[in-house]
Amino acid sequence: MHGERVQVGRVVDEAFKLYGQYAGPLLGSAAVVLGLVGLLNGLLATTGSLVWLFVGTVLSLIATTLYSGFVVKLVEDVRDGRRDFTVGDLFRAASAFVGALIINSILWGLGVGLGLLLLIVPGLFLLTIWAVTAPAIVIENRGPIEAFRRSAELVKGDGLAVFGTMLVAFLVTLGIGFIIGGLGLALGDGGRIVLSAIGNIIAAPIFALVTAIVFFDLRGDPAGAAGEPEAPGEGRESVPS
């Protein structure tokens, strides 16, 4: 089973199918959670104050972790074949894990960042084996430390496929940011801030979806109803609303 659980093309294909099918809740939620924080962060950055920059960083971390948890719960809801939770339900479920997600994100960033700084290979290794720490917290209720061990356990045997999948997702999001950011350069500070926020909104679902799908694939969970029509009477199709 190892080495076959994650297929780059299949994961990316499912991610974009889910993106298209649930663009409303994905982009709408990103606009509310990430867009507003992004705009505020851009304005705070123009002050040049280290205190406000720190505040903006904290707000961004909270918003990002909350949104990531929301996407994981959405993918779980789609894969169970029922799709019976509203956007509010999913956010409420994800919010219970924000504290653990923030602690895990800080430790993840320190570990991967230090690995990349000292020598690129260790950083890429940690980035790969810790790829699904967030879903482990949200779906399996793992602690922020235990999630690292669980992620490494799941990735074992599929490291190359996981790395390749995450790399594709990263390059896609980077490309979106580069294109939109380039347009913003011609519009001055105000236009740059607005377009940067828009770019974050458009790109955010991609990496989050890929991470969630990789997690479920590593566990051996069936793709279920992703991208497939629901049979009459099965669930309430509430997520898009």
Q: How confident is the model at residue 21, as a pLDDT?
A: 93
Q: How confident is the model at residue 241, as a pLDDT?
A: 44
Q: Give the tens place of pLDDT for each residue, 161-219.
A: 999 999 999 999 989 888 887 777 777 767 777 787 788 889 999 999 999 999 999 99
Residue 200 in domain: yes
Residue 240 in domain: no
C-alpha separations of 10 from 87, 151, 153, 221 in Å: 26, 20, 22, 14
Percent of the chain with pLDDT over 90: 45
Once rounded to an integer, what is the mean pLDDT over residues 124-147?
Answer: 95
Distance (Å, rounded) from C-alpha 30 to C-alpha 141?
Answer: 24
Higher pLDDT residue, 45 or 95? 95
Once rounded to an integer, what is the mean pLDDT over residues 127-141?
Answer: 95
For residue 227, what pLDDT band results from cuts at 50, 70 and 90? very low
Q: How confident is the model at residue 2, as a pLDDT?
A: 54
Give yes or no for residue 228 having a pLDDT over 70. no
Total number of domains in the chain: 1
Residue 87 in domain: yes
Residue 134 in domain: yes
Q: How confident is the model at residue 237, as a pLDDT?
A: 41
For residue 3, what pLDDT band results from cuts at 50, 70 and 90? low
Return the C-alpha torsion angle 113, 12, 83, 89, nearest 10: 20
Q: How confident is the model at residue 91, as a pLDDT?
A: 85
Residue 7 in domain: no
Q: How confident is the model at residue 210, as a pLDDT?
A: 97
Domain that holds residue 147: 12-219
Locate tokens 């505040």: which residue? 55
Residue 235 in domain: no
Mean pLDDT of the chain: 84
Residue 136 in domain: yes
Q: Give the tens place of pLDDT for each residue, 66-103.
A: 899 999 999 999 987 777 678 888 888 888 898 999 99
For residue 134, what pLDDT band results from cuts at 50, 70 and 90? very high
Residue 90 in domain: yes
- List Cβ neighbours of 95 (8 Å cut-off, separation of 6 or more): 66, 69
Give yes or no for residue 225 having a pLDDT over 50. no
First to last CA, the chain: 37
In this structure, the chain runs to a length of: 241
Backbone angles phi, psi at 5, to 5 degrees: -70, -35
